Structure 1
Amino acid sequence: MVDVLDLSNNSLDGTVPVTFGHLRAPRFLNVEANNLGGELHFLGALSNCMHLQLLDIAKNSFMGSIPDGVGNFSNKLQILYAHENQLSGRLPAMMANISGLLAISLYGNQLSQMIPAEIMLMENLQILNLRDNLLVGVIPTEVGMLRSLVELHLYNNKFIGPIPDGIGNLSNLQSLILSQNNLSSSIPNSLWHLKNLILLYLSGNSLTGMLPVDTGSVQVIDQVDLSTNHLSGAIPISLGQLQTLTYFNLSHSMLQDSIPDSLSKLTSLVTLDLSDNSFSGTIPNSLANLTYLRDLNFSFNKLEGQIPTGGVFSNITLDSLMGNGALCGLPHLGFSPCASNSQTAKLHILKYLLPSITAFVICIIVLSLIFKGKFKTPKEGSAEPPTMVDAVNHILVSYHEIVHATRNFSRDNLIGVGSFGKVFKGRLSDGLMVAIKVLNLESEQASKSFDVECQALRMVRHRNLVRIISTCSNPDFKALVLQYMHNGSLETLMHSKDRPHLGFLKRLDIMLDVAMALEYLHHHHSDVILHCDLKPSNVLLDEEFTAHLADFGIAQLLIGDETSIISASMPGTVGYMAPEYGSIGKASRKSDVFSYGIMLLEVFTGKRPTDPTLVGELSQRQWVLDAFPNRITEVIDPDLLQEEKADGFGAISTCSNADFSTLDICVVSIVELGLLCSNESPDRRIPMNEVVNKLKKIRTDYNSQFDE
């Protein structure tokens, strides 16, 4: 009895035989990515497969219309993929008869006419992807009835009219992409109250009106693109409440007024594009404090005054500021010096400030002498008490505050012990909870580790890297003060006795976070940084279980092209080291990729590379490879074979012990990627930017396949 028929990614041509309909037992039929063609007459025969749950005919050359007979499929059918073909004609209303459908993906075809209202009454539908077609008319007002909908992608069609206000009723909606249509009217206020919304793309339409005053309800929003519309009015101050926003594009519209200072509260922001509007006033100086902001475009507005310095403005180009004739302050970009910066003005100000500055310096010297006598150093013989200077905020913290914060380095505050020292948690006098890494100065390697980690962490700024807050160093004491992670390490999360249930999607998100951190270090930083010690204990989790890569104690700088290697004096951890790194001490980007691959396999199998059951020549990778792909469930973490619920650790799926084939589809791509990354040959490993792309695709595919 055939349960799964997977013929995807071959070079099959011709048509799908109607005899497939005689296979009444299959639950999964996949012919994706072949050269199959012809019309869809075989769907009538396939409707006899009463147990069919997934039908994937995407990425072929099927043509013609979708027959009404598609509505005869059993309600057990959950997934229907027919994207990237040459299908034309209308979307049949009869498709709504398949009440069990969770995902309809028909993008990249030539479908035309209007969306039938019946499709909008499918209560279980979670994914509706009709992008890149020729669909016309208005978006049916009944769309508000799709209460289970998670993704609605209708971009690059020919829709007209308003965005239905009923979309605001879709409380589960995470991704709304309606770009590149001819939608008009204003943006419904109800969209800004979708608390689960992550992506909002409405660009390339004819939307009018003003943004609502209250936009703060979309608390988990990550990307907003409202560019190339006819929006007017001001940017609402409430946008500053969107702490998770990384991408914000309002370019090519008719917005005006000043740029609100509240945008500086968007602490996760990476891209901000306000170009081609009518913004006036000055650029808020506070935007220079946004740690992750690297892409900024204010060109072709009516801005004036001093261009801020520091932060993103340190490397800003003329393209990002041109078209604002009244700006000043960056002569190297062709802007005039500001009046207050002229030599005459400087001398005028200096005449009044110099006496005050002199008095202030004298006071500082006197106070320094007083404090030098008042405080003792941690050990006799030290020249002066160590202080810590934050590389970003210039916070000054005394050694004695460290002692107080850790309760004199109490065992109750101890959260980790490593080869180079100990890590304590502590709360500074301003209430900030921190992790304090105190180095063991009896180890020569610890001092080298301290210097390397300071250099690496000060050079990098990324949301998935642990942030260095301060350093403390004198001959008798060295410590790093780091961002505190409330949920500990991935090692503890994976292997502790009382570990919480960790679902597929949460594991995937954690490893995607780590991959994006490595992608930044390898490909998006001016100096390539190799971590050299990737392992679960160096992946820390914050309150939201977002992963942050830590412990750069043996990190290396790499100068050169993609194939460059360097000698590394301090080895990584056994089990995670690339073969070439462990044998000859040579590290490259591909060495980190290997370690990442081993960690990826560990996260989804639950077995460490040093597990005692792996004896002789049997490595973790070989153990997985021997089972791949036909016996994949034999090596997957048993927790993933249990029922998963949609909670903080779960996923939008159900994988039961009796449903191993579903799990095959869930994890086979992840395991394949882990094996590819951990290949013994460095040349066969893929770079981290490709790893990130593959993981994002896996996540998208996964979310489109399973029920909550």
Structure 2
Amino acid sequence: MEVLPALLFIAIQFILLFLYPLQPAMSRPHNNFTDLESLLAFKASVADPHGLLATNWTANASFCSWNGVRCSHRRQRVVALKLSNFFLGGSISPHIANLSFLSRLDLSDNALTGPIPSAIGRLPRLALFNLSYNSLSGPIPLSIFNMSSLVKVSYNHLTGSITPNFARSSQLQVLSLSFNKFGGSIPPELGNISGLNILYLRENQLTGTIPASIGKLSKLNRLDLSGNYLQGVIPEELGNLLDVQYLGLLKNSLTGSIPMALLNASKISYLLLAGNNLTGSIPATLGVSWPQLEILDIHTNQLTGRLDFINSLSNCMNLQYLLLGKNKISDFLPDSLGNLSTSLNYLGLASNYIKGRIPSTIGNLSGLICLYLGKNELVGEIPSEFSRMKGLQGMFLNRNGLSGYIPPELGVMTGLNTLILEENALSGTIPHSLDNISGLQILSLAANGLFSSIPDSLWSLSGLLVLDLSGNTLDGSLPQQMGNLKFLDRLDLSKNRFSGNISSVLGNLQMITYLDLSKNSFDGEIPSSLDRLVINVQYMNLSYNRISCTIPKSFTNLGKLYSLDLSFNKLQGPIPEGGVFSNSSIVSLQGNPALCGALKLGFSPCPPPSNSKSNLHLLKYILPPIVLVVLLLSCFCTRLIFLRWGKKLKLPSEDASLNTIRVISYRELVRATNNFNEANLVGRGSFSSVFKAYLDDGLITAVKVMNSENQSALRSFDAEYCALSKIRHRNLVRIISMCSNLDFKALVLQFMPNGSLEQWLHSHNYYLNLLQRINIMVDVSLAFEYLHHYHPHVVVHRDLKPSNVLLDENMTAHVSDFGISKLFLGDSQSILSATAPGTLGYMAPEYGSTGKVSRKGDVYSFGILLLETFTRKKPTDAMFDGELSLRQWVIRAYASAVLEIVDPDLLKESVDIQREPSSPIIIGQCLSSLIELGLSCSRDSPQKRIQMRDVVPKLQKIKNDFLSKSPRS
């Protein structure tokens, strides 16, 4: 009997021993269920407009395989939740705090709102906490700082103060609170976080002083307190930060001098102190103390003293930016300026009290991109040694006392795109050699003592955007060659001695926004061609000349004008009614006693017309209808006669006559393409092949031959011919002819010698600078504005992409390939298409989901094209898989790091005309605006996209803002 209990005991022990290893597994369902519940609660609390969670976070798969979820291998518990850039909205569920094994939480780059749940602070293993780039509000739960080593909540709307409790965590290595609304002072207790590597508090509302205790953070590598309301001096204790490489204190209200103790922080490579009220001199030995210095930006302060520190900067072999403008430095430029690093890109000394001559050694700075010496007291001649700086793109020497001639040697600086020499004492003539600088975009020689006529060679600079020659003693008349400057945005020839008629060729400058010809001796009439400036012109000044005529009635159509000055001429007759003339605040007409009408402008009423004039006036209205009826009867009779004799008379349509489509035979096309030789092949697609052709009359064209075996290609031919034969615009490819029979169909098109935007963006030996890209996008937007809003019938292109944007000899963009376009009749806003139109990556989402074709689809494609143009990334790039698109990638970086995703080559140039040492800032602002517009155009919802008629003024404003700090600013 005793044996049985013993056997039973052994059996139980055996069973327990067998089950022991399974205990964790048996408990797993309960623990996993907690994680599952937490994830589902999080999913329920957020908005998921793209369905990235809805289609993946389902019961069909283990939550450990869900997007953004990572589990531990042994316990299968959630250890990381990374949902960055998932376009999530809504709020963060407090149930996320039940993920008790969570160590990494990254919800950055979304649109989350509401507060940060305080329960998250209960997560004992949380090490990484990143909620940057959302719209979260309220305070940060202090409990989060108990365990995390990395806390990033920058770019939100968080409020409250940075309390001493933030310093609880001895593990904290990264604290990024930038771009929020934190107020109060910086607590000295932050200096107790001994392991802190990065401290970002930029762009908040912090007040008070910089705590000296920050100097105790011996491991600190990057410190940025810029863009607050901090006062007081820079603590000497910051010199104890022996590992700090980045020190940003710009845009505060700091006072005092640059502390000498700061020179002890020998690893500094970026020192940003601009935009404060610092005084005193710049330490003479800073270059010896900071040998790794790359950027020294201390412009816009009250610094005084001498430039002897430049001698020590020759020790900084990696120096790229030296920005000292807008201070009170008073000294002569030393010869040692030429000993600075050849990697120096930006040298800014503008708006100081620097005097004497420019040393010839400046020519040694072979890597210089922009030179800012404007608004100083420099004298003497411009050194011819400038010509040795082959890479110089911007030269700003304005508002000095420079004298002598403009060196003809400047003509060898072929990379120059901005030359500002205004407000000096230069004399002589404008050198002919400037025409060698074919890429010159901004030229201001205003307010000097230049004389003689403008050299004809200057008008060959077809890429000029700004030309300011005002305030000299130049003479002569305006030549026809002026019409070459088709991209000109600003023309100022005022205060000279020009004479003769105002050339009608000015009407060709349709990109112009600012025109000033005042205070010359122009006579004759105002050319009627000026009404062609209606698209863009905002400022027009023809005052103080000898113009004698009536004011063209077409001036009432200049709807964008904010200032029209025709005063002190010899104008006569009635003042046009309406338009700009109805607003006395923007029109100036005084000094023209023979004008009448416009009582609101203070002029007398016009005398009533005589009887003879009344009869003529009446005849003007009666005669045209009579002539029209006679012509219609003649046409009808002529057609009747031809039909009677069995001959068909095809009257040309309005569209056909407009485009003057000529007849070209198949035989001529064979000759023109050398029997469609491969050597003449320009490009080939699934629908067609394009050949370069030399017609019998010498005209060079592009012949687009359709693939006759492809029915879609034949439909494409019909659609493209239908579209192109009915439209004409300077930014659309023009059809010259067509050739069609049973076996052969071809379009003869305007040839574009500079290829496509695709080539210029994605070929290693092509490059477009920033303004060229902006101009191209303006051209494309104008084309689509016309197609969508100004053509009698709405035309939807449906396949906008870089390969369909072609560039002519002047780099003017022309939209091509209307093979799948749709013509909407009447008031139709959209239609349904049986096929998904367009190209993957550029095609609007609704094309694939609903098949609905509308103008908003073109807007989406334009937005993607805009992003591609300035990032130089294709939407079909390998990096953009199913979970990440070009647009998503841009959104991720837009708010904080837009300069990290744009084409890096754009950051190497400087085409701004601010003449102060902030070119990188201006370029950054411009690119940020362009990226923002691209994102606005490419929204997923068609209803939220803007119209092309709104895109055009936005693009033009971006361009004008980029050029707004022009020679007058």
Q: How would you bin the TM-score normalised by the shorter chain?
A: 0.5 to 0.7
Instruction: Map 1:71-82 onto structure 2 (within 5 A).
Output: 71-82=287-298
Partner of 1:596: 863
Partner of 1:351: none
Partner of 2:592: none
Check the 8 A contact 1:248/1:273 in 2, yes or no: yes
Question: Deviation of residue 481 (structure 1)?
Answer: 1.5
Partner of 1:348: none
Residue 881 of structure 2, aligned match among 614, 619, 636:
614
Change (3 A) 1:580 1:672: same
Rg (Cα) greater in structure: 2
What SS class does the counterpart of residue 481 from structure 1 fall into? strand
Change (3 A) 1:40 1:479: farther
CA distance in 2, matches of 1:526, 1:336: 41
CA distance in 2, matches of 1:683, 1:90: 55
Change (3 A) 1:318 1:35: closer
Letter in 1 for 2:297: Y
CA distance in 2, matches of 1:115, 1:154: 10
CA distance in 2, matches of 1:317, 1:621: 34
Check the 8 A contact 1:519/1:689 in 2, yes or no: no
1:240 aligns with 2:456: no
Partner of 2:580: none
Partner of 2:499: 280
1:252 aligns with 2:471: yes
Residue 423 of structure 2, aligned match among 192, 196, 204:
204
Letter in 2 for 1:298: L
Partner of 2:340: 122
Check the 8 A contact 2:271/2:297 in 1, yes or no: yes
Instruction: Map 1:450-461 onto structure 2 (within 5 A).
Output: 450-453=721-724, 458-459=728-729, 461=730
What SS class does the counterpart of residue 290 from structure 2 fall into? coil
CA distance in 2, matches of 1:324, 1:667: 40
Partner of 1:90: 305
1:35 aligns with 2:252: yes
TM-superposition CA deviations, 1:534-574 (whole Å, max 9, x none)? 32322446789x6835237378999xxxxx99547775444
Check the 8 A contact 1:597/1:676 in 2, yes or no: no
Change (3 A) 1:68 1:687: farther
Check the 8 A contact 1:136/1:160 in 2, yes or no: no
Check the 8 A contact 2:322/2:347 in 1, yes or no: yes
Residue 141 of structure 1, aligned match among 359, 372, 389:
359
What SS class does the counterpart of residue 38 from structure 1 fall into? coil
Letter in 2 for 1:325: R
CA distance in 2, matches of 1:43, 1:86: 17
Partner of 1:534: 800
CA distance in 1, matches of 2:550, 2:739: 37
CA distance in 2, matches of 1:420, 1:202: 53
CA distance in 1, matches of 2:444, 2:681: 45
CA distance in 1, matches of 2:797, 2:503: 36
> How does the TM-score come out when normalised to structure 1?
0.68
1:406 aligns with 2:624: no
Q: Percent identity?
A: 27
Letter in 1 for 2:522: L
Residue 325 of structure 1, aligned match among 546, 564, 574:
546
Question: Deviation of residue 224 (structure 1)?
Answer: 1.0
What SS class does the counterpart of residue 309 from structure 2 fall into? helix
Moved more, 119-128 or 519-528: 519-528
TM-superposition CA deviations, 1:203-256 (whole Å, max 9, x none)? 233433322354433232222111233322211223234343332221232111
What SS class does the counterpart of residue 281 from structure 1 fall into? strand
CA distance in 2, matches of 1:291, 1:438: 34
Change (3 A) 1:264 1:600: closer
TM-superposition CA deviations, 1:426-473 (whole Å, max 9, x none)? 2334545433346789766754544545666x33x4xxx565374559
Change (3 A) 1:251 1:612: closer
TM-superposition CA deviations, 1:14-39 (whole Å, max 9, x none)? 5655555444445544444x436233
Instruction: Map 1:310-459 onto structure 2 (within 5 A).
Output: 310=529, 319-325=540-546, 332=553, 398-399=664-665, 401-407=668-674, 413-416=680-683, 422-429=689-696, 431-437=698-704, 447-453=718-724, 458-459=728-729
Question: Deviation of residue 597 (structure 1)?
Answer: 4.1
CA distance in 2, matches of 1:126, 1:524: 42
CA distance in 2, matches of 1:293, 1:636: 32
Partner of 1:354: none
Check the 8 A contact 2:806/2:816 in 1, yes or no: no
CA distance in 2, matches of 1:282, 1:632: 49
Check the 8 A contact 2:223/2:244 in 1, yes or no: no
Letter in 2 for 1:134: N
TM-superposition CA deviations, 1:344-378 (whole Å, max 9, x none)? xxxxxxxxxxxxxxxxxxxxxxxxxxxxxxxxxxx
Question: Deviation of residue 623 (structure 1)?
Answer: 5.9
Check the 8 A contact 2:404/2:428 in 1, yes or no: yes
Instruction: Map 1:97-112 onto structure 2 (within 5 A).
Output: 97-99=312-314, 100=317, 101-112=319-330
Change (3 A) 1:20 1:12: farther
CA distance in 1, matches of 2:765, 2:308: 41
> How does the TM-score come out when normalised to structure 2?
0.52
Question: Deviation of residue 487 (structure 1)?
Answer: 4.5
Moved more, 479-488 or 231-240: 479-488
* Gap regions ≥5 residues in structure 2: 1-196, 199-219, 556-569, 574-612, 614-647, 911-922, 964-969
Change (3 A) 1:283 1:12: closer
Check the 8 A contact 1:44/1:69 in 2, yes or no: no
Check the 8 A contact 1:466/1:549 in 2, yes or no: yes
Check the 8 A contact 1:580/1:587 in 2, yes or no: no
Partner of 2:764: 500
What SS class does the counterpart of residue 216 from structure 1 fall into? helix
What SS class does the counterpart of residue 490 from structure 1 fall into? helix
Residue 70 of structure 1, aligned match among 286, 302, 317:
286
* Gap regions ≥5 residues in structure 1: 338-342, 344-380, 559-563, 654-664, 700-708
Change (3 A) 1:518 1:12: farther
Partner of 1:56: 272
CA distance in 2, matches of 1:282, 1:180: 32
Letter in 2 for 1:252: G
Task: State the superposition RMSD in angstroms.
Answer: 5.6
Check the 8 A contact 1:581/1:591 in 2, yes or no: no
CA distance in 2, matches of 1:625, 1:526: 28
Task: Provide the aligned length of Structure 1 versus Structure 2.
Answer: 616
**Larger relative contact order (C-alpha < 8 A, sep ≥ 6)?**
1
Letter in 1 for 2:408: N
CA distance in 2, matches of 1:8, 1:273: 43
Partner of 1:481: 749
Change (3 A) 1:680 1:61: farther
TM-superposition CA deviations, 1:66-102 (whole Å, max 9, x none)? 332433343332222223x323213532133222223
CA distance in 2, matches of 1:268, 1:313: 14
1:231 aligns with 2:454: no
Moved more, 166-175 or 467-476: 467-476
Partner of 1:221: 440
TM-superposition CA deviations, 1:236-278 (whole Å, max 9, x none)? 2232343433322212321112334443454654543323321
Change (3 A) 1:547 1:245: closer
1:171 aligns with 2:393: no
1:7 aligns with 2:269: no
CA distance in 2, matches of 1:389, 1:93: 73
CA distance in 1, matches of 2:248, 2:871: 24
